[in-house]
Amino acid sequence: MVATSELAPKVQANAQVRANWARFVMNKADGLHPDKRPAIEAAMPRELLEFVRKSVGISMIPFECHHRLAEAHLASLGYAGVVDLWTAAVVDACNSVVLFKGLLNTVRMLVGDHQQLVLKASAQAWKLVTHHCGEMRAHGTDGPWFGISWSDVPVAYLESMGLRAAWEGSIRGAFHALGDEVAMRSEVIVAKRQVVIWSKA
């Protein structure tokens, strides 16, 4: 599978993510790495941290909050640690968050190529937790590889290693929720303004 992000020419000022999803990942980090919490919080502006913690339910918050949180996790946990964090968060979400559980159960019931169905469910999940952060779309196969592409995504995905790790972990987590193990790596192709996530079951 190859996941490709064709990035927008500039950051979208109105890009947003759901507050409860940002808090879900924040709380997951606290649970997995309680000793790292002071360092993670110190890496974020205090007012931004409080804004995320106090945001209401499914309200939308600026994408910059998500970006800063991913970078704070990267500084404290390292790239592999952020991938593992997001993998665990998505697995938990698929087993506990009603909307995500519904998507997972739909994938389990459908007949067809398993990997392609996971990618389609991931595309739907993206729509649930973001606004104006681009479109995620599963597409055709190329031999053993499966693709999922993002278009018009905030340019921070091109620049941020923390977000790349979060993205990689999210896709990995979707597969792990169904019991599938995948090997993954990611790279940036600057000339094409792409982030590419490679994985193969």
User: Whole-prediction pTM value?
Assistant: 0.81
If 0-12 CB within 10 Å is exposed, 13-18 middle and 19+ buried, where does residue 56 land?
A: exposed
Cβ-contact 154, 15 below 8 angstroms: yes
Burial 20-51 (b: 16+ CB within 10 A, else e): ebbbbbbebbeeebeebeeebeebbeeebbee
What's the pLDDT tens digit per position in 81-116? 999 999 999 898 888 766 666 666 676 666 555 667
In the chain the domains, ranked by start, together with CATH numbers, are 2-200 (3.90.1520.10)
Confidence class of residue 80 from pLDDT cuts 50, 70 and 90? very high
Could you give the percent of the chain with pLDDT greater than 70? 65
pLDDT at 4 over 60: no
What's the pLDDT tens digit per position in 32-60? 999 999 999 999 888 888 888 888 778 89
> What is the average pLDDT score of the chain?
77
State the Cα–Cα distance between residues 139 and 120, nearest whole angstrom: 9
